[in-house]
Amino acid sequence: MAKTKIMAKTKIKSWIKSHKIEAILIGIILILASFLRLYKIAGYMTFLGDEGRDAIIVRRLLVDFDPILIGPGTSIGNMYLGPLYYYLIAPALLFANFSPVGPSVFVALLGVVTVGFIWWAGRSWFGVKAGLIAAFLYSISPTVIIYSRASWNPNIMPFFSLLCFWAIWQVWKRRKYYWLVFAAIAFAFVLQSHYLGLLLAPALGAIWFLALIEARYLKNTSLYLRYSIFSFFVFAFLMSPLLIFDLRHNFINFNAMKTFFTVRQTTVSARPWNAIPQMWPLWQQFVARVVTGREETFGKWVAVGLAGVLLWLWGKDKKINIHPKEKSAYLLILIWIGFGLMGLGLYKQHIYDHYFGFLYPAPFLLLGGMLNQLIDNHKIRGIWISGLAIIFIAWADLTNIPLKDPPNYQLRRTARVSESIRKEAGDQPFNLAVIAERNYEDAYQYFLEKWNTGVVDIDPLRAEETIADQLFVVCEKPESECDPTHNPKAEVANFGWSQIEKTWQVDGITIFKLIHSNPQTQ
């Protein structure tokens, strides 16, 4: 082991010596990426109900050794992701002494690693300049930065989706069949971070099939299929907690997915050809939101430019020196993007920025490869065109950089509100409710559980045991819109008839202390 480490260090030092300028440039890019993701992360990170829920579950895993079989719930009723994300962030929460900042820092660092991964993939597929351009533009993308500095399950998708295609590339073009195992592991992580990861399946399947054809031509079919079968079992093992959960709960997850795809025709189209007219608008939206700093008009022009340059390069491949490896890399990226956009085109609801997470690295690699081709084949003119493209895109990104906005301080505010409730509750049991537009109890409950307070969730089936003598209602709306004694929310209604005993504010958040009252006095 020690000998292997020494050899690895020697190789790295040797590489840096022979690639000094590239090493310096990627070093600067990684430092920039780290700054944009880690600067005041405790102030900028999101910490609402979803993040609080995740922190509660992972803390229970670490403190109570309560194994996790399912991950976060989706916006679709009774449909859950797998638990891999929770196990992934658990060490970060532990090392941070159970501060929610720990998992957010981990996700941010994974985002920095993704920048480095894009550089390595770009240089391997298209050349040094392509890798540096792709990594630089990815590192400063406002949308990518926003989703790289908070602990949320979709935020790990870019790294693992890139790992999927890097692994399947190794199988297809370098005939390293053992990389199928890494592809299976990466795909399991993608799928358990968001079910949109399913859209990678046809793209990965297409490349797997191309690799199978080559393996058959080389008379390696038997070896290839053995690795494929082993990889399938690795994937099945990583997905098995969901199966165990379903077996214990009457296939609740399977039935929810079945309903989603067979009944919810207002959400998903069952006709693949319906997606085709949506692909170009989605491509323009994707480029605008992810590549060009959310500048819609400029993004549409860049989307047109990327498509145009690609067609031009492809049409002149006999006149322009495009290496077969580069053509294969273009094909891989186009399959990645094409199937992704087609899948999103079947979705009938609004497409949020994080829905594109499994595609984030793809356009940057495509852009880096194209600009690299222009520079190599058209020298001065190519340098001018590429330089202007990089400058305009960087300007759009840096103009809308998230650090321009003040920190939201959600974590600090949540901790202060929770501390105030703890002091007011004393050592007595209490119930908790939150009235808000986009938040719920778990963000506050995380701190209250961590501090071993008497917070109790009301269970209508065990009302006498779980309804306390006091209910704290945290209202994030204007005080005039709160009306905590008559709010229809279950956490308030289940408490029963109540009256306000005390009202106060912490950091602009109104807190009500409610106690039971006689219904005849209401």
pLDDT beyond 80 at 15:
no
pLDDT beyond 60 at 84:
yes
β-pairing verdict for 509-516 and 431-435: unpaired
State the pLDDT at residue 76.
Answer: 64
Question: What are the start-end ranges of the H helices in 147-199?
Answer: 157-174, 179-193
399 and 424 housed in the same domain? no
The structure's pTM equals 0.92
Q: Which residue has the tokens 């301080």?
A: 409
pLDDT beyond 70 at 3:
no
Q: Which residue has the tokens 């790992």?
A: 163
Model confidence pLDDT, tens digit, residues 128-163: 999 999 999 999 999 999 999 999 999 999 999 999
Among 404, 421, 438, residue at a domain's last position: 404
The DSSP 8-state label assigned to residue 263 in this structure reads T
State the pLDDT at residue 131.
Answer: 97
399 and 481 housed in the same domain? no
In a domain, 307, yes or no: yes
181 and 145 housed in the same domain? yes
Could you tell me which residues are beta bridge partners of residue 504? 511
Do residues 330 and 369 touch, judged by C-beta distance below 8 A? yes
What average pLDDT does the chain have?
Answer: 90
Structurally, how many domains does the chain consist of?
Answer: 2
| % residues pLDDT > 70 (the chain) | 92
Amino acid at residue number 490: A
In a domain, 4, yes or no: no
In a domain, 15, yes or no: no
Per 3-state DSSP, the chain is made up of helix, strand and coil in percentages (nearest 5) of 70, 5, 25
Model confidence pLDDT, tens digit, residues 239-276: 999 888 888 878 888 777 777 666 655 677 667 777 88
396 and 429 housed in the same domain? no
pLDDT beyond 60 at 520:
no
In a domain, 136, yes or no: yes
What integer is the mean pLDDT of 99-118? 97
pLDDT tier, 7 (very low <50, low <70, confident <90, very high otherwise): low
Kindly list the distances between the CA atom of residue 204 and the CA atoms of 230, 342, 398, 491, in Å, as whole numbers in the listed order: 16, 14, 34, 45
The whole domain housing 482 covers: 410-521
User: CA–CA separation, 185 vs 156, rounded Å?
Assistant: 14
State the pLDDT at residue 314.
Answer: 67
Do residues 383 and 413 touch, judged by C-beta distance below 8 A? no
Phi-psi region of 521 (alpha: psi -120 to 50; beta: other; left: phi over 0): alpha
In a domain, 3, yes or no: no
| % residues pLDDT > 90 (the chain) | 69
110 and 207 housed in the same domain? yes
State the pLDDT at residue 521.
Answer: 52
Do residues 89 and 109 touch, judged by C-beta distance below 8 A? no
Taken in order 221, 203, 170, 373, the sign of the CA dihedral is positive
In a domain, 513, yes or no: yes
421 and 372 housed in the same domain? no
State the pLDDT at residue 91.
Answer: 96
User: CA–CA separation, 518 vs 93, rounded Å?
Assistant: 45
440 and 323 housed in the same domain? no
β-pairing verdict for 498-506 and 470-475: unpaired
Model confidence pLDDT, tens digit, residues 347-401: 877 889 999 999 999 999 999 999 998 888 877 888 898 999 999 999 999 999 9
C-alpha closest to that of 332 among 205, 451, 213, 181: 205
Among 366, 386, 404, residue at a domain's last position: 404
User: CA–CA separation, 438 vs 487, rounded Å?
Assistant: 16
Q: Which residue has the tokens 């029963």?
A: 496
Amino acid at residue number 297: T
In a domain, 12, yes or no: no
In a domain, 300, yes or no: yes
pLDDT tier, 70 (very low <50, low <70, confident <90, very high otherwise): confident
Model confidence pLDDT, tens digit, residues 462-514: 888 899 999 999 999 998 899 899 888 999 999 999 999 999 999 999 999 99
State the pLDDT at residue 434.
Answer: 95
Longest dimension (CA), the chain: 89
Q: Which residue has the tokens 């497409």?
A: 351
pLDDT tier, 168 (very low <50, low <70, confident <90, very high otherwise): very high
Among 404, 423, 448, residue at a domain's last position: 404
Q: Which residue has the tokens 């976060």?
A: 72
Question: What are the start-end ranges of the H helices in 19-156?
Answer: 20-38, 41-44, 49-64, 84-95, 101-125, 128-139, 142-146
